[in-house]
Structure 1
C-alpha cells in the first residue's frame, strides 16, 4: 500500500481494491445472517397495475410524500433497488409522445395528465438514497380483463392502429407477430431510456399471454403473412419474442450503453418430461411451450444483462421444488453464457407468505431460507427480487423482520455489468469530513475527466483501515451529484474517531482500485 499524508481533513490513501467480483461472495448458510455478501441484488417490485402497490389519485405533494416514505423504509431495510412499473398496459407513468398517461396514477380515464412526472420523482428520490431504479414494462398487454378498447385514450396505438390488436380471452394485446408492433415497442423503450436516468429496463413474464383452454391465440393471418420460413406457428412465435428481446437490447445499449436490460420470466423453462435438458419439475405451464419465451436463447446470445426467474414455489413442493429450479437456472447461466455473462437473480414470492395452500408458506422461515439457498456457493444466484412492495410492508408472520434484521442487516452493492465496460474509475479527487451535531458531513469533490456514477463510503473505527471487502464497513452508497456530492453519516458517534475510505463506482459497476482516505485526528 502507498500512503499520502496531510492534515486529517485532507488525508488521502491509495488502497488496492479488487474489481467487483462477477459472482456473489460465497456464504455459509449456517452463518449467513452475519457473513453476508458485499455484492447482492436486493430488489422489490412496485406494481402499479390495478394499483396493487400504489394508490391512484394522489396530488404531487401526496405522491412525493408516499415515494419518500416508501423508499425510506426500503432503504432502512437495506434494499438497494426498486423495480417500478412504468408501462403496465400500453400506457405510461411519465409524459410520453408514444403512449397515453396511465389511469393508475390518476384513477381517471386513461390519458389524464396528473400534473407531475411520477417516474422522474421516483428516479430522483431513489438515487438520493443510493438505490437503483429499474423501469418495468409490460410489452404486449393493452388492457386488463375488466377493460374495453373504448376505455383507452383516443391516442393509444391500440385505437389509432386497431389492426395491431388481438383479443384473447377477456383481454386485448398488441400482436407480437407484426413488425409494426415490434418497431413501436422499440421506440417506446428508446424514449424511456433517453429521457430518464434509469439504471435498467425490466420486463416480466407477460410475453404471449398465458394459454386459455380451448381458445387459440388469434394470430393466423399474421403468421400467414410473416411466418413463411417457419413450419410451425410455435417456432415463429418464439422467434417473434426473440427478435423483440434482441432489438430492445440493441436499442438500450445504443442509447445508453450502461443501462441494463433484465427479464423476469416464469420460473420453469420446460419440464424434463418434454425436454431432457429441462428441469425435474411437473409444472402445468412453461416458458418455451406456453408463453413462447425462449429464455435459453436470450442467455446464450447475450441479449440480456440479467435473468430473474420467478421461482414462486416452496422448497418442498413436489411438482416444482425451489431448490431444483434454483440449481437448474444456475446451470443455465453457467453453461450458456456465450456472448457475455448474464446475472442470475431470483424472483421470490413474498405474497405467498402466510397466504397459500402449500403449508410450507405458513412457516415464517420459508422465504428467509430461500435467500440463504441463493447465497450458497453451489448456485450462480447474485441476489433476489421480492414480489411485491405491499407484501413486504404487510410482513406476514414477521418474515420481513427476519430478512431485514438477520439477512439484510448490512449494506450490499448492486452487481455490475462489468462486461459492458471494464474500465475502473479513479477515486475522487478530494474528500472532506466535518464533525456535526448530527454526525459527520462528508463532501466529495470529483474533478476527474470521466465521472463515476456512484461512490461507496467505508468507515472504520480509529486511525487504521479495516477490510474493504466486508459489508459491515460500508456506511452507504451515494450517487455522484455532478462532481460535488454531500452525504451525512448520521450513525457516526461523537465520541469516536473514524477513518473514512471513499471509492468510486463506474456506471457498469466497476469499483476504483484506490480509495481516498480521510483519518480523523491526524
Structure 2
C-alpha cells in the first residue's frame, strides 16, 4: 500500500479576483459557464401554507422544513427566502405581532417552537443564507377571506382599522402606520441572526386610495408637489427608516426588495404590464442609489422573445437587460423568475442563461413548490457562493486551523478548527468551501480555487465527509478548505494530499500505533503530522520546545482506527527545533521537527 504523506500549503485567493471573474460578460445564452459567485434561492411561501407548513404538528412541520432545505442544498442553492411575516403575523417570537394562524390552526396561538430560529439553525449547517421575507404593506388577510382570523388576536386590521384599505392593505400615507411596521421589522432584526430582510408588497396595490388627497393635505412634511410624488415618498420613507434602524442597531443585515418586474415605460409603453415607478409608486432604483438597499429582485415573470399571455406583455430578455444596465450604486440584481407558469418552467435553463449573459448577480424563484423537482437543465451542476457586496465588510477571513482527515474505507472525513477571528470580532459567522481534485490534475493552486466545478461542499460545519471509491475514483486526491466570511469573502486555503485506502487495506495497515515524520520538514509556518491506529483510541499529540516546555496540545480526543493527519500552525512560535509526542493507549512515540522562518 502507498504511504500516506499529506502536504499542507497555502496561497492567497483574493476576493476581488473572484468578483472580476464573476462579472465577466458571456458571449451568448446557452454558452454561459458555471459562475462561482451567484445568488440562487426560492421564495418559501407561508401564506395559506402554500409551500410550508402543512398540518399543525410541530415535529412534522420541522421535518417538512428540513426536507425543503435539503432540496435546496441538493439543487446547489445557497439561500432561502423564508416568509417570516405574511400578513401582519409572525413565524417567530414577537412581542408586537401575533403568531401566524396556520402554525397551530388557531390565530395567535404559540406553537411551542420558533420556526424562524429553526430555519436559521438548519440553514447555517448547510452554509446557506437566510433572508427573512416581509410583506410590507399587506398586513392583514382581507376581511372574510380567511375564516380562521378573528378580532381576538392583535392583528393591525383590528387594532388600527383606520390605517387599512381594501384587501388587507395598509395605507403608507399614515406616518404612524409606517413607523409601526418599521418597528416590527427592527424587532426581528435585533433578535434573530438573519442575513437579510426581504420586502415584498412594498408598494401601493395599483391605483390610488380614495383618501390620499385628504391624507396628503395633513401628512406632507416635505411639502411635496404632486400626489404621485407623495405616494413614492411614503414608500421610500419606509425603506429609509428600516435602513437607518438597522444601521443604528449595528447588525450586519442586508436589505433586499422585490419590486414588480417592469420599472418604467421608457420606450416600451405599448406593453400592458404595471409599472413599478408610475403604477405602484416603487422607486427601487432611487433606493439603491441612496444606499438604502443592498439588492433588487425584480419579478420578471414573462417569457423570452414573446408574450406569455397577450401580445402586449413585456419580453423577459429586454426587461432583464433594462434592470442590469440601470444598476445604481452597484447594488445587486437577482432576477425573479416565475416557474409557477408552465411556459416559464419549460424555459428556465434559457432564462438562467439570459440573466447570466446580461450580467445579473443571481436568480430567485417563485415559488419553492414549483422548483422542488427541477434540475434546471444542468445550469446549477456546480456549487456557488452568494456574491460578496463590496460596500460591506470585505475583510478576508483567516485560514482554518488544524486541518485533519480520517480515512475509513469509502469515506474520507475532513475536520478543522475555526479560524482565528479578525481583531474586534468575537464570534463571526463563517461558512467553509471544500474543493477536491485528482492530485495529478493540480497544475496551480489558484486555478483549482477559481474553478467552481472543483467545489464538493459549502458547509457551515467544520467537518465534511466525502464518499469515494478508491478502486474507481483514483488513489490520490488533493483537498482544499477555505473560509468564507458572512459577506462571502473567501480567504486563503489549506490543502491536504490524501491517498485513500480501501477497507481491506485499512485492516492491513495499522497493526500497531505508528507516528510518521512531519511533512514538510523543515517547515514554515505549518506542517502535517500523520499517524495510524490499530483500533479506536484516545489520542494526545503535544508539541514541546527543546527545553521540554509544553508549547501546545494539538490533539486530545478519541480517534477511530486507521490513518489520520493533523496540521500544526507555528505562526506564533520562534524558529528552532521542536519535539512532537503521540500518546495512544499504552503507546508513546516522539519525533523532532524544525521550524525555519
TM-score (norm 1): 0.85
Q: Give the drift of 1:208.
A: 1.4
Find the residue that maps to 1:180 and give its secondary structure. helix
1:175 correspondence with 2:171: yes
Structure with more relative contact order (C-alpha pairs < 8 Å, separation 6 or more): 1
Larger fraction in helix: 1
Corresponding residue to 2:50 among 49, 52, 62? 52
Corresponding residue to 1:263 among 241, 257, 262? 257
Aligned to 2:226: 232
Aligned to 1:409: 381
Q: Give the drift of 1:156.
A: 2.6
Find the residue that maps to 2:364 and give its secondary structure. strand
Find the residue that maps to 2:230 and give its secondary structure. helix
Aligned to 1:358: none
Q: Give the drift of 1:437.
A: 4.3
Find the residue that maps to 1:254 and give its secondary structure. helix
Distance 1:149 1:106 in 2: 11
Contact 1:418–1:509 (CA under 8 A) maintained in structure 2 = no
Q: Give the drift of 1:174.
A: 2.5
User: After superposition, what is the alpha-carbon deviation per residue over 1:177-234, rounded to whole angstroms, capped at 9, x for unaligned?
Assistant: 22222222222222212222211111124421233xxx73433443221125022222
Contact 1:418–1:510 (CA under 8 A) maintained in structure 2 = no
Distance 1:73 1:491 in 2: 22
Distance 1:288 1:116 in 2: 40
Q: Which runs of 5+ in 1 are unaligned?
A: 1-6, 274-278, 355-360
Corresponding residue to 2:494 among 504, 516, 519? 516
Corresponding residue to 1:435 among 407, 432, 435? 407
Contact 1:29–1:375 (CA under 8 A) maintained in structure 2 = no
Aligned to 2:290: 301
1:12 correspondence with 2:4: no
User: After superposition, what is the alpha-carbon deviation per residue over 1:231-289, rounded to whole angstroms, capped at 9, x for unaligned?
Assistant: 2222111011111111112222333543211111100111126xxxxx56613311112
Contact 1:86–1:92 (CA under 8 A) maintained in structure 2 = yes
Find the residue that maps to 2:450 and give its secondary structure. coil
Aligned to 1:63: 61
Distance 1:16 1:126 in 2: 28
Aligned to 2:451: 470
Bigger shift: 229-238 or 490-499?
Answer: 490-499
1:456 correspondence with 2:433: yes
Bigger shift: 418-427 or 91-100?
Answer: 418-427
Distance 2:98 2:49 in 1: 17
Alpha carbons of structure 1 residues 419 and 92: separation in structure 2 relative to 1, 3 Å: same
Distance 2:244 2:493 in 1: 34
Contact 2:431–2:459 (CA under 8 A) maintained in structure 1 = yes
Distance 2:210 2:386 in 1: 39
Aligned to 1:131: 128
Alpha carbons of structure 1 residues 83 and 447: separation in structure 2 relative to 1, 3 Å: closer
Alpha carbons of structure 1 residues 41 and 224: separation in structure 2 relative to 1, 3 Å: same
Larger fraction in strand: 2
Corresponding residue to 2:73 among 69, 75, 100? 75
1:24-173 to 2 correspondences below 5 Å: 24-29=23-28, 32=31, 35-108=33-106, 110-145=107-142, 146-147=145-146, 151-163=150-162, 165-168=163-166, 171-173=167-169
Contact 1:166–1:218 (CA under 8 A) maintained in structure 2 = no
User: What RMSD, in angstroms, separates the aligned Cα atoms of the two structures?
Assistant: 2.4
Find the residue that maps to 1:423 and give its secondary structure. coil
